Amino acid sequence: MLPRRAFAGLLLPVATREAQFVMLERQDCPFCRRWHREVGARAWNASDLGLRAPLRLVDVARGLPVDLATLLDTRIVPSFILLADGAELGRFLGFNGALLFWQQAEMLLRRL
């Protein structure tokens, strides 16, 4: 028989990953502005995907925050990067409309 503490641990997910969905952007990027008009942070954070990986907006013109300094290829904007426990799980580049964005984001978040 398992001790009570060991049994309780079996009911929880094996690993809980802290995820975030990072958008690398610039103010002068027309595709970034289009993303904000057609999707936007409010819609993302209210979605099922946003509940699993909250959005973090990063203006690359201001430099990367210290905790993102190890990200590679940060010149292309917009870039959408899925992080879990600080590690990159995947990304997609550009914005070509809301429908394609939601499809790409859903495929990316399946990696969690």
Domain count, the chain: 1
Decide if 69 contacts 78 (C-beta within 8 A): no
Full residue range of the structural domain in which residue 98 is found: 17-109
Query: In this predicted structure, what is the pLDDT of residue 16?
Result: 53
Vertex 30: Cα angle to 27 and 33 (nearest 5): 65
Query: In this predicted structure, what is the pLDDT of residue 30?
Result: 98
The verdict on residue 71 lying in a domain is yes
The verdict on residue 89 lying in a domain is yes
Decide if 54 contacts 36 (C-beta within 8 A): no
Query: In this predicted structure, what is the pLDDT of residue 17?
Result: 72
Rounded Cα–Cα distance for residues 102 and 88 (Å) = 19
Q: What is the mean pLDDT of each run of 10 residues along the chain (112 residues)?
A: 44 62 98 98 97 97 94 94 96 98 98 94
Q: What is the CATH number of the domain that holds 58?
A: 3.40.30.10
Query: In this predicted structure, what is the pLDDT of residue 9?
Result: 43
